[in-house]
Structure 1
Amino acid sequence: MGGLFVAIGDSFTEGVGDWDTRHPNGVRGWADRVAKQLSKADPDTRYANLAIRSRRLAGVVEEQIEPALDLRPDLISFYAGGNDLLELRKDLGPVLETYTRAVERLVSTGAHVLLFTGFDIPLHPVLEPFKRRNWAFNDHVRQLARRHPDAVTLVDYWAWNAYRDRRMWDIDKLHMNRAGHRYMAIQILNILGVRHQLEFEPFGPSERVGPVQSVSRDVEWLRQWVLPMFGRRIRGVTLGDELRPKWPEPIRPADGMKKMYRKRRTPLAVD
């Protein structure tokens, strides 16, 4: 496929859940994996990733779209809006309008655009109201993809039953873990028609959890993840406030992404 692949968005695209300290921001993720396989197909492939966790749609649009387009990408992935869906007091109408304008801007450049639906995560009842917003968002994404059949490829994440297995998710239940990111990379490469070397080994039988253990896990999950998340929202802070994009300038994944990150971390010797 070659050319330049640029990924923009939030934690989904940054790679949160696929923890790996050998990569920038301590995460790898599906986009890095896709870029690596594209480089195996064509060593001249270049890649940039501007995504930062916790970014809302407006932040992605304002901070990432024009810098990404300045790089003149051939392929650009756009996933944003999930953090807005978690804000029940925010009217969904303006969010969908902003998303539409962003897609139209991306398509207007001639780059091929990857769009994503959001998965219908099996949520605890305390978060159930978010599902309806997710369904409305997904319908809107599908409509935009149908509007631009030649310029947009839809990754219909919502429809993939593999993600109904809790072993595809990190402990926070909102982000894919390493297995989830790997599976996502495989599916995207297959959709794009790119030959690759990634494989996914099916899980064995799932562990059966009794009602007492299930309740205990839910209580711990609420304490460790849900309450801190809403606390940060109340304070107006996010986990991405101090982070920079993983790969703000195009790199050649064929040169070794872990090796490039080691070089970036190593301070220059001073006489």
Structure 2
Amino acid sequence: MRPASPGARAWTRYVAVGDSFTEGMSDPDPTTPGAYVGWADRLATLLAPHAEEFSYANLAVRGRKLADVAGPQLDAALELDPDLVSIVGGGNDLLRPRADVDTLAARLETAVARARATGADVLMATPTDPAGAPIIGRTRGRVGVYIAHIWTIAEQHGAFVLNQWACDFLKDWRMWAQDRIHMTPEGHRRIALAAYAALGHDPADADWHVPLPAQAPPGALETIRDNAQWARDYGAPWVQRRLQGRSSGDTVSAKRPGLLPVEHDDRTTRRSTP
């Protein structure tokens, strides 16, 4: 690993709050069936070598909206006295047709201000560019407004920002799982490196941001078949949960509710095969 860039901090207590993205969905944990690794876990393993004593907690739960992320999750996070908190939420809210982006931004700003008032540094993340994605693609306008708020909040409160909108490699569907909503292990690996760089560190993998080699686009029949399968396996169940007022995380609890030491795991930097 390369040394930290000038000005990069050595944090000792990192706590992540958020939804399925921060929980790490579609990045399976080979040691625990049904569990996930994800970008935040991978970021923790990158940060750990910079401190003599480092610990990490992850309170994120799939399906959670910003009210939970910036409310109960953040409450629990601040009780752990972190010096770095990643607060990533709002994506599930933005999927709702009547989402009030300004209200979401105000809630996010309050959360960031609370964390900063304790002396902790804060890492936020912009949503990815949803152009071309089924269902989510329709939210592109409100996502853009939300991103403008995120950068404003960061400037006003001295927070770090992981700019996923600028991650061109995410425009490649090979970085996305079959549900087209969550990232593959390679996607999570690269986002962890992007977050590491956003925090002022210098990733050892100099090419993490380089797009994958081009490949031939799928044929028309293959596209129709894949879209039909996606609608059946993922689209319809998602719509049904929304209509029934259910969430994929209703029976899920935080995978790492307390601060624990982090062991080195070379999956963090080892390139995965999309």
TM-score interval (norm. to shorter): 0.7 to 0.9
Task: Indicate how the Cα distance of structure 1 residues 180 and 240 shifts in structure 2: closer, same or farther if over 3 A, else same.
Answer: same
Contact 1:24 1:246 in 2 (8 A): no
- Which structure 1 residue ranges, 5 or more long, are not aligned? 257-271
Q: Which of 171, 182, 192 matches 1:164? A: 171
Q: Which of 81, 100, 105 matches 1:91? A: 100
Which structure shows the bigger proportion of residues in helix conformation?
A: 1
Partner in structure 1 of residue 196 of structure 2: 189
Q: Identity over aligned residues, as a percent?
A: 34
Contact 1:37 1:197 in 2 (8 A): no
Residue 77 of structure 1 aligns to a residue whose secondary structure is: strand
Partner in structure 1 of residue 38 of structure 2: 29
Alignment of 1:73-152 (within 5 A): 73-124=82-133, 126-148=135-157, 151-152=158-159
Q: Are 2:259 and 1:250 aligned?
A: yes
Partner in structure 2 of residue 60 of structure 1: 69
Distance 2:177 2:242 in 1: 21
Q: Which of 66, 71, 85 matches 2:80? A: 71
Task: Indicate how the Cα distance of structure 1 residues 235 and 255 shifts in structure 2: closer, same or farther if over 3 A, else same.
Answer: same
Distance 2:27 2:41 in 1: 11
Q: Give the letter aligned to residue 33 of structure 1.
A: R
Contact 2:151 2:161 in 1 (8 A): yes
Contact 2:130 2:139 in 1 (8 A): no
RMSD: 2.3
- Which structure 2 residue ranges, 5 or more long, are not aligned? 1-9, 266-274
Contact 2:18 2:89 in 1 (8 A): yes
Contact 1:25 1:243 in 2 (8 A): no
Distance 2:40 2:103 in 1: 28
Of stretches 131-140 and 88-97 in structure 1, the one that deviates more from structure 2 is 88-97
Q: Are 2:227 and 1:218 aligned?
A: yes
Distance 1:255 1:178 in 2: 17
Deviation, structure 1 residue 112: 0.5
**1:234-259 C-alpha deviation (Å, 9 max, x unpaired):** 11211111111111010000388xxx
Contact 2:86 2:123 in 1 (8 A): yes
Distance 2:245 2:12 in 1: 38
Partner in structure 1 of residue 57 of structure 2: 48
Q: TM-score, normalised by structure 1?
A: 0.87
Deviation, structure 1 residue 21: 4.1
Task: Indicate how the Cα distance of structure 1 residues 251 and 191 shifts in structure 2: closer, same or farther if over 3 A, else same.
Answer: same
Distance 1:68 1:105 in 2: 11
**1:43-64 C-alpha deviation (Å, 9 max, x unpaired):** 5111010000100011112221
Deviation, structure 1 residue 117: 0.6
Distance 1:91 1:191 in 2: 28
Q: TM-score, normalised by structure 2?
A: 0.86
